[in-house]
Structure 1
């Protein structure tokens, strides 16, 4: 586990928007933000019951917001809701993601739909949220953006999931562009690129392909745990960690080394 100075209050009173907060990684990030004194803004798409359970788990120290990031206006509406609810937002974690199937043998409509939804949720929605966050942060002396990318952004992905890898590669590039353009304004942007994380999505892949297809290529012999991602995200959200800006933090058990 990553240890920080003054860890109990590392994110004290900081309002941090976490998209896709009801998924495995999102839950871990949200809980860790609350553990460190922050106020997580818990985004969910449909699963209000899970969002409410998560809020209860962290002792009610958060705010629930619903938005559909698969529609063009969804991300902007989410940010406006967050501003209206809390005023000052200190950090943004673009965690929500989707992985559609796009086979070369699919008809054009199915192929195009898979590309559209992956690009919309994995890249366009984060870009729209960053578009809102940057002027908000600039007016308040700075802020942190953490974009959850993927090992797939670094090395490519499976033939049936090329939109996912492409969208995550775009997210890494977006992170770098923001870090270079707005560092002087106190805005820190970091990408985190996990390999297989032990979540519901990974378990579904294992059921389909077998455990050897996942663990066989990871030198440490284990998937990433969601808590590992949460610790790294909170390190990047630490206002003192300005020099991380522009970095892509690989978390993949040495299954891809750059």
Structure 2
């Protein structure tokens, strides 16, 4: 007779788990991982699975990625914006280490270790700390004991179809409900918000949240994002509002913006947004 059975495998071994191919949070670029719309990468935030640095890296590799590297301030802002909502913990593992040469920090995915965001007094190599973690509250980096058990962040390259060209010099950022995006402009230019909409106008945008039908417009979004983003090189846009006038309708945030040269704004005397 045939009996049911239970299998067990070691951490980080065996075939990786198969992610879903649809449903809330799924996207074409990254599947079930979180996409940063302004780079080619995908991120998996493991808050509750506590592992040593080596165990965390093995799990990331098993899922087709590696522990996260942070290579510029825009990626730093995106990561910090996400982990600020972490329900527990002090810090999360990243892919930096100086285990080969003390003080010679490098990323496990071979990205250049040029951009840094150290916490005050770090790295201090306190009792031989050779692995890198990011502090959840502040976003600053800390050299850490590799044997500590922490949550961790994985990173991999996503599927990146060619984006649509800007129209009339304006770009559009689309963010599905309860997701984040970092809006940013090239060096020596700043954001100029043209319009901002939060709600739902059609069924085609963010369709994987479309279990509930209907349309909705949340008032007062444009002044919020003009204050938050105008005349800054980058800002974080989160598709969420505390008091939701239409909670049964799944929503998205649509921001139309342009990147203006700093010198133009200063010459016109509009640095303060007036």
TM-score above 0.5, yes or no: no
TM-score, normalising length from structure 2? Answer: 0.27
Question: Greater share of strand residues, 1 or 2?
Answer: 2
TM-score, normalising length from structure 1? Answer: 0.28
> Quick check: which has more Rg, 1 or 2?
2
